[in-house]
Structure 1
Amino acid sequence: MKRTFVFVLSLAQNHLIVSQLYQYHYVSEEKTWTEAQQYCSQKHTDLATVTNMKDMKRLISVSLGDIKEAWIGLYDQRNVNRAWCWSLPGVEFNKSETNWAADEPNNLGSEGPNCGIIWKNLSCNDRQYFLYRNSSKKYHLIQEKKTWTEAQSYCREKHTDLISGTKQLQDEEVKNETSSVGNNTYILIGLFREKWRWSDGSSFSFRNWTKGFDYQAEYKGQCATTVFGDGGRWKNENCNEKKPFICYDGEMF
């Protein structure tokens, strides 16, 4: 059945946006992250969960000019182990499908190497070549060195995402694309390790951090905002600061 999605912008305190999956509500009243989460769970479903760039772009396209940033439902879950994730939305990390090199991944402390090259882990701040797959399902090696977050942003802005998932990595075209630089060249892939979780308990691994975000660090700011002046990218903030926020209602089918 064909579905039509309407974007509505009102002048009330709560501003409704309808996305393909969720109804998003901007609330201009400033609250701490915990207060905002309680408000959203009582009046809607929860603080906003964002599943992919399409969701993100919808929010940006109708954001109010007077709202610079707003809480979303992502928070840093302390006292748990970091978990490996794939950058591309919809691709789940499965430990049984990994093909780590000998003695990899290594040094898995809280500030250990938290990003991936082809089946090795390394610091997210190391600058390396990187590999992406475009919308035509063609793989391309970018021989320009960037940090992992910079590489992810580049791929999403110009193409699709960093190469993600065992199926993509096993593609014969990937071997052909990387053969020109030799086996000893480090190439970033869409693998990262972190502790951030969605307040509604969903397991979506989509992240849209600002380019300066450091996956290696243990941050004091444990809650995430979306910053409209930075293309909607996310920034970690002190959860006790008071800000506007975004709620969502259940799935739209």
Structure 2
Amino acid sequence: MWKYLLLSIYVFISFIKADNFECPSETIRPANSFYCYSFNSQLLDFSGANSMCDLQNGTLAYIDSAFTNDVVASKARNLSWDQYWIGATVVKQTMNDATVRIWTWVGTDRYLKYSDWGINEPNPNNKYAVVQTMDFTWKSKSCSENRPFVCSIPIKINLCDDGWTHFNETNSCYKVFYNKNWDDAELVCRAENAHLASIHNENENNFVVDLAKTGIIMEINNTTWIGLHTLSSNTGDVSSYTWTDGSSLDYSNWGVNQPDKGGEACVQLFSDEITYKPFFVKQWNNEACNSVLRNFVCKKKSNLIQK
């Protein structure tokens, strides 16, 4: 099971843009690792050390390769440690009516796919593992010995750039900007590698409203530009409207008698109630493209690259 889960994680991670991993301060991340590693000089037994790792949202170190073992052990050697706890531990399982000891990673059912035991190790009387910085090999120990320890903490993935908000349903990022006409708003979005927001279902419409709203009853121009517009002179023709990001027009939420034929070719979203049409909240209205509205919402794909 874990083999396939780790493969899935690898595929997921490989589709993340390289700059969007985040580790806690004072930790290290070996290249291509899914974990950040913290180094803790406090001398604790295995159980106490793992409890401290839990407070860091991790476990005692998971070591998945010789490369990771070398990187972590080199750092520990530089700290003048001689041995340190990692997360390898023994569990007992019944197989064919016999009880066997199996080395796993603490807190999981993952067997050790990689190990680097020293000569005559592991000792069958011991249930926990340390790494020796002298030669980076592993040695089994009893739980009661006090040692420094290394924790592994799953990497945090930044799905959106700073200031942008992720919406899981669309795997897209959104950000509110202010005080532009429609054309200038689209230019601002494009400078951010985005477009004015396209909206494809009620949930996304509500999400954009929640981002842009103030909670105050507004005048007509205190509304929100979205990415819908028409190049047709017949602005009342719903079928002529398109999204600037090229996505399909598969959802709409027009207000009553909208769009109208007044020559207004761009679309605003009523993210707040307005004084003369309070019932229009969350609905759409076509508006003159040169009107300067209170805000607009840009949308772009997240840093999880879809292939």
Return the TM-score normalized by structure 2. 0.39
Q: Report which of the two structures shows the higher radius of gyration computed on alpha carbons.
A: 2
Q: Which has the higher contact order (CA 8 A, sep 6+)?
A: 1
Return the TM-score normalized by structure 1. 0.47
